[in-house]
Amino acid sequence: MTNNRQLRIAIIGAGASGIMAAIKLRQAGHEDVTVFEKAHDLGGTWRDNRYPGITCDVPSHAYRYSFEPNPDWSRVCSPGAEILEYVRHTARKHGVEGLIRYDSEITRADYRDGKWLLESTRGSEGAFHAVITATGVLHHPVYPDIPGLEDFGGRVFHSARWEDDVSLAGKRVGVIGTGSTAIQIVGASVAEVAGLSLFQRTAQWVLPLPNRDYEEGEKAQFRADPALVESEYLRLTHRMNTTFSAAVVGENPKAYDQIVTACEEHLATVRDPELRRRLTPDYKVGCKRLIMSGDFYTAIQDPMAELVTDPIDRFCAQGIRTADGRVHELDIIVIATGFDTHRFFRPMQVNGPGGQTLDQAWSEGNQGYLTVAVPGFPNWFMIGGPTSPIGNFSWLLTAEAQFGYIRQLIDRISEADVTAVAPKPEAADAFNRSVRERLPQTVWATGCQSWYIDSAGNIASWPWTFDKFRNDMDQPVWDDFEVSAG
């Protein structure tokens, strides 16, 4: 490397991965780092999702930054508010809170003369040598196309737009959807509501996930011996990556069979055969993102709960009318219908050097090079870009691996005689071809509808093992990149 130049670097998104990128850039000696955040607080998904029962179903000792071990997790799988506080604490401790420009949603990016000119909802934000997007994939709420929403006389909102003054206690609550979110809400609220109607369009496989509090003695041991925290991290990440994550991509049939058996045995605990039948999915375990829950089947068998499988016809003043003509009277409706995974950081307009927009580049689906970059868009790097390991993987682990790779690309453009790096189109084509060839081996392609696959058949998640991902993220294959000299 010759005569390093100081770079201006923009990170878009102050969620868990944007905070990590800011910390690591500062640790690598980059002084001029700005984090743009559309909201008025950090935390991303853990800020937006505040529904009752929100928990990260990836064990906490694996869902943490490698550089910020935490001996004090309250539970094996900790609540969302605790994770938000952990992210906030990490940002504060590593001194990056002051780098965040809040209420600044980046709306436009234009590449000119080796720099990205950014515009936000506040106006021009200046020019940056490199941009790292860290916007997550589950942040554009999807609302169902069901008529009559405005007719409903009670409170209605999306699970990711929880209205904080709402309490479910003593209320007749309707929950639409049966994804991980809805299942957590049902488990957490059935004991306090006056009635809970779960509107199911598609049954889900549910893997029993025993969750428990860490005892004070265990936390004290973790505090006293950092090596214990580390070995728990390594044990959990190794187990997740070699069993579950390998199973869904067809690499560990034995683990897959064990997961199937665990789900089937779990379902068999539902006592009423008719309810059990209605809760039985007609697709393979893991095709949709697997639900992890130790309390859902208990909750849905509670006398206060009802599983509604007649399709929803419309919202009405009193609640929801189903196709059988029945009106389900409700005080509160929670729309837990998920997110548009494929929108990424759009509606932002990203205009590359040749006049090509990212919308054009992605007109047939989001495709990049090795999850982190897009041909024709130099110095535009993505954490959680297309085909990243998502779903039941640990997002923080993925994000750190991607950052390690991106940091090497940034090192390259720090060299005095280099202005830009971008993947070669043929390298991206080869990568995307291999993704398509690989897809049929995964359980995601076995015939169900899920947010993993877009309308053009592109897969949103990494179709190989996590070990391969980590290897591929280890260092760039420089032959796959165009490196422009200034």
Chain residues that interact with ligand NAP, rule: CB under 6 A:
55-58, 138, 144-146, 159, 176-182, 184, 199, 201-202, 289, 312, 336-339, 391, 449, 451
Q: Are 129 and 114 in contact (CB under 8 A)?
A: yes
Rounded to a whole number of angstroms, the minimum distance from the CB of residue 405 to ligand NAP is 23
Residue with Cβ nearer ligand NAP (12 or 287): 287
Rounded to a whole number of angstroms, the minimum distance from the CB of residue 225 to ligand NAP is 28
Rounded to a whole number of angstroms, the minimum distance from the CB of residue 311 to ligand NAP is 8
Residue with Cβ nearer ligand NAP (396 or 401): 396
Rounded to a whole number of angstroms, the minimum distance from the CB of residue 452 to ligand NAP is 9
Residue with Cβ nearer ligand NAP (176 or 186): 176
The phi, psi pair for 208, rounded to 5°, reads: -65, 125
Only one residue has tokens 């010759």, namely 2
Single-letter residue type at 37: E
Single out the residue of 6, 36, 126 nearest to residue 345, CA to CA: 36
What is the three-state SS of 28-60? CCCCEEEEECCCCCCCCHHHHCCCCCCECCCCC
Residue with Cβ nearer ligand NAP (446 or 471): 446
Rounded to a whole number of angstroms, the minimum distance from the CB of residue 125 to ligand NAP is 30
Rounded to a whole number of angstroms, the minimum distance from the CB of residue 469 to ligand NAP is 17
Beta bridge partners of 332: 155, 173
Cα 89 vs. chain centroid, distance in angstroms?
Answer: 21
Residue with Cβ nearer ligand NAP (321 or 407): 321
Helix (H, G, I), strand (E, B) or coil at 476: coil
Q: Cα(205)–Cα(418) distance, rounded to whole angstroms?
A: 51
DSSP string, 130-187: EEEE---SS-SB-----TTGGG--SEEEEGGG--TT---TT-EEEEE--SHHHHHHHH
Residue with Cβ nearer ligand NAP (58 or 229): 58
Single out the residue of 94, 38, 44, 45 nearest to residue 65, CA to CA: 94
Residue with Cβ nearer ligand NAP (22 or 396): 396
Nearest residue to the partner ligand NAP, using Cβ:
179
Rounded to a whole number of angstroms, the minimum distance from the CB of residue 339 to ligand NAP is 6
Rounded to a whole number of angstroms, the minimum distance from the CB of residue 88 to ligand NAP is 19
Residue with Cβ nearer ligand NAP (378 or 391): 391
Residue 339 neighbours by CB under 8 Å, 6+ apart: 137, 138, 139, 140, 141, 142, 160, 451
